[in-house]
Structure 1
Amino acid sequence: MRYLDFELSEGSDGVTTLDAMAATPAGRHAEVLAEAQAVLAWCRREFPHTQGPVDEGLDWDHDLHVGLEDGGWHTVSLTLTGSPRFVEAFLAAFGTPPG
């Protein structure tokens, strides 16, 4: 990962959240968006047919927001929620977040 640094938080309900956000000038926005799309492609490839509410027994879900801030900065924020097996595979593929 070059732009997205994920932070991990574990809920008492067994659902883990991985949050990442990047703000860049317009010239780097496409790179950040491509990185987010690559993460989502991995999720879909490794855990096909199990995307949806984790608290209903599925493995993973996501929320992707793209915005334009003052001064022309572009933001990309990606939140993933995951089951224990999803998070284990995610960390093996992308590394353990700092913290």
Structure 2
Amino acid sequence: MQYLIFELSDGDDGVATLEAMASTRADSHAAVMVEVQGVLDWAWREFPGQHGPIEDGMAWDHELLVQEEAGDWRTVTLTLTGAPHFVDAFLAEFGGEED
């Protein structure tokens, strides 16, 4: 990936959070969204039927925020929460940075 770099933080409850933020000019926004879609496609493919609140027993959930900023900039934040087996598979596929 060129734009998204994920950082991992572990919660006390065994649920981990993977978060990436990319801030680009509008002309690069589509490339960022291709990366976002690639991550989400992987998660839906590898963990079918397991998307939703972790507290309800699901393997992973996500939040995607896209903000338009001054000066023709776009900020994309992708946050994934996951059970340990999801996070292990994610890190094996995409890598990441641990906090």
Q: TM-score range by the shorter chain?
A: over 0.9
> Aligned letter for 2:45?
R
Residue 73 in structure 1 maps to residue 73 in structure 2: yes
Residue in 2 that maps onto 1:6: 6
Structure 1: 5+ residue stretches without partners? none
Q: Percent identity?
A: 58
CA distance, structure 1, for counterparts of residue 89 and residue 72 of structure 2: 36
Q: Secondary structure at the match of 1:71?
A: coil
Scaled by the length of structure 2, the TM-score of the pair is: 0.96
Q: 1:31-70 alignment to 2 at 5 Å?
A: 31-70=31-70
Partner of 2:94: 94
C-alpha distance in 1, partners of 2:67/2:48?
28
8 Å contact 1:21–1:78 — kept in the other structure? yes
Determine the C-alpha separation between the residues in 2 that align with 1:53 and 1:98.
Answer: 23
- SS of structure 2 residue aligned to 1:67: strand
Which consecutive segments of 4 or more residues in structure 1 shift more than 6 A?
Answer: none
- Structure 2: any 5+ residue segments left out of the alignment? none
**Distance in 2 separating the partners of 1:2 and 1:31:** 9
Aligned AA for 1:45?
A: R
State the number of aligned residues: 99
Q: Which one-letter code corresponds to 1:86 in the other structure?
A: F
* Counterpart code for 1:83: A
RMSD, matched Cα: 1.0
* 1:20 corresponds to 2:20: yes
Q: Which has the higher strand share?
A: 2
1:64 positional shift: 0.4
